[in-house]
Structure 1
Amino acid sequence: MPERALARSRQLVVNFELQDADGLADHINQRFSPVRIEPVRPADRFSMSGTYGQVAGIDFSRSRVQGEFRVFPKRLYDGVFFIFPTVGSLVFHQSRESFASSPTIAVAAEGMACRSMDFLFDTTFCGVVIDRPALAARMSALLGHPVVEKPIFQPSLDMASGGASALKSLVMCITSPEFGPQLNRASLTAERIRETLVDLVLETWPNSYSEILHRPPPMIAPQHVKLAVDFIHDHAHMLPSGTELAALSGVSLRALQAGFRRFAGTSIGAYQRQIRLERARADFLREPGASVEDIALRWGFTNAGRFSRYFKAAYGVFPTELIRRQR
């Protein structure tokens, strides 16, 4: 039997010290997306220093900020920011409301909904940023089947709760002078840290999958459901009917329909539509100059108006709004 390759993740842990807006903007641009930074008062000056780490889709940091400023994203980032201040406050202004973090309140902020972020007073904090693909991949592994709906996290969490305290303690540990530098030389440890951070977030921070994750372990999906799911993912641009998928899977249509409802939690058609919407959304983020009609047709939606309504129901914004934000 051939040996199984060990999973290894590229990682980086560095200390940083930034003395002006340009340095901070460059730091954010390199990992997340382009931003504009403005001081709260025109004459204000600020600095930021600390330890920053990155492991395959996961970013973590321990930072100290002196001064007050605002950060405005020029392009939205598809990830979730989990922030734990020990001094001062960070305020996230999202599409419909704002959430303020403090030494007693941790915040989970959606990158795709963030309009601006305020650093108020001299602030010391630690944080974790997890991109959506990493969350989706881990959730799929935990549930045993691809997830259709993205996890939605409760926007704020009392630091007195065990989950918030444990997350903060873990980030403080891996960014410490004794432990952090070791991750640059320890690929296997970095991979375990990555999984631990994501699992701890999913299990302890209240989210739309919390109830499911705390149920008894799910049963393994039968082979015919896996075959159909794999075909849908590998050929998302095609539009096979339920009957055709059943034939490919070697079962009756009724058996496949029952399998999808039991193990995927939705109908065959709804599952196909969600996968095509996910591919369309990824294309909008990757190709901000593309038209709604072109992307819709690319993924089998012949009616652009109906496609826009489906998109709005799935992601909370119309495709035109997402394109406008990207530009």
Structure 2
Amino acid sequence: MVSQPTTQQLVAGLSPYRLFHSKDLDETRSNVGRIFKPHVLGICGKSQRLDARMDHLAIGGISLNRLHYGANVSIEPECLDDFLLVQMPVSGSAQIQCGPRKILSTPSRASIVTPSLPLHMRWQGQCDQLIVRIERPTLETACGALLGHALPRPLEFELGMDLRHGNGLAWRNLVLFLANSQFTKNAAQHALLAAQVEQLLVSSLLLGQPHNYRDALLHTARTPAPRHVKQAQAYIAEHCAEPIGVHDIARHAAISARSLYSGFQQYCGTTPMAYLRLVRLQRVRQDLLQAQSSGTQTSVTQVALAWGFSHLGHFTAAYRRQFKELPSQTLHG
């Protein structure tokens, strides 16, 4: 029986993206501050010795980070303002206060730090955290698109997330997959893939973690008129080479993302993103046929990546289902 990789082994996938390793307090504070924000960092206890390291992988409007201080530390950033953090201890624990709420964050309980609320943290020396950073405008724009209107007040998330069950476990598994996946590394280099990762994480957080707009998001959406679906289809056809997502399409069609889903399911029998993938598959085929007829030197991999397909096995299977031949057969005739 093949053993399953441990959490430590999965987060080790970020180690090639080492930002720094330092035992100096000022250097550590400066490096962490460049990724997050300037803050007050203090060592708690005369016997404590800092041994800090941080890995950082940026993907569009989000980033995956692993941070370990190696000593008991206090962290005082005030409000994060421009971004949200989901902090998931791999080992150890941290006391987190965000606004009036306090929790002890452990490997079974993540903390979701609302950008608009003051933050105070104390990390225990062995605390090693996997941290997802999401830009606040990205999060608020996505929430507004799902609702169909701009947010009248800031998003405020419940501070604790149970990582052992339900939506919390699903979130944990998703982030661990991304931390150790070649897909994520490819996404960091390709805008189309980065947009897919960004949208997946943002939507998962908005629909899975309690916050002040979640009840409204979960209400049944009305089905849009067919003209809205046609507007969305036209937008997809025109912008399929760009890193667009459901929220961009919904905004162009002037409806909520949930209404967009309902419309595509009713009138197209598919989802907006599945429709977008179909259009991109068609564009791949066009490029392969053009390369074959003109004798242009290219490869299936190059064309697939250019259109946002990172997993070549999944791409090849989808291409064959759609066009009844392999992409290599299209390219070489």
TM-score by length of 1: 0.57
**Structure 1 residue 174 and structure 2 residue 155: aligned?**
no
Q: Give the 5 Å matches for 1:1-327.
A: 14-19=17-22, 20-73=24-77, 76-176=80-180, 178-218=182-222
1:179 positional shift: 4.5
Paired with 1:126 and 1:177, the residues of 2 have a C-alpha distance of 15
Shift of residue 104 of structure 1? Answer: 1.8
CA offset at residue 137 of structure 1? 0.5
Which residue of structure 1 lines up, in the alignment, with residue 232 of structure 2?
none
Tell me: CA distance 1:65–1:177, structure 2 relative to 1, closer, same or farther (3 Å). Answer: farther
CA distance in 2, matches of 1:74, 1:151: 17
CA deviation after TM superposition for structure 1 residue 188, in Å: 1.3
Letter in 1 for 2:154: K
Tell me how far 1:196 sits from its aligned partner: 0.6
Q: CA deviation at 1:146?
A: 1.7
Task: Report the number of matched residues.
Answer: 211
SS of 2:20 mapped into structure 1 = strand
Partners of 2:60 and 2:188 within 8 A in 1: no
- 1:167, 1:139 → 2: CA distance? 18
Using the TM superposition, give the Cα deviation of residue 22 of structure 1 relative to its aligned residue in structure 2, in angstroms. 2.2
Residues 144 and 39 of structure 1, relative CA distance in 2, 3 Å threshold:
same
Paired with 1:193 and 1:123, the residues of 2 have a C-alpha distance of 27
Structure 2 residue matching 1:182: 3-state secondary structure: helix
Separation (CA, whole Å) in 2 of partners of 1:29 and 1:143: 33
Kept after mapping to 1: 8 A contact 2:43/2:73: yes
Query: Aligned-pair distance for 1:114?
Result: 2.9
Can you list the C-alpha shifts for 1:98-146, whole angstroms capped at 9, x where unaligned? 2221122121122332342111130222122223211110012112222
2:75–2:121 CA contact under 8 A, matched in 1: yes
**Contact 1:67–1:120 (8 Å) recurs in 2:** yes
Residue 303 (structure 2) aligns with: none
The runs of 5 or more residues in structure 1 that have no matched partner are: 1-12, 222-327
Query: After TM superposition, which residue ranges in structure 1, 4 or more long, deviate above 6 angstroms?
Result: none
Structure 1: which amino acid aligns with 2:121?
M
Q: Aligned partners of 2:54 and 2:17: how far apart in 1?
A: 9
C-alpha distance after superposition, 1:70-108 (max 9, x if no partner): 112267433322111131112223343422211221211
Contact kept in structure 2, 1:173 and 1:179, CA below 8 Å? no
- Identical amino acids, percent of aligned pairs: 21
For the Cα contact (< 8 Å) 1:144–1:218, is it kept in 2? no
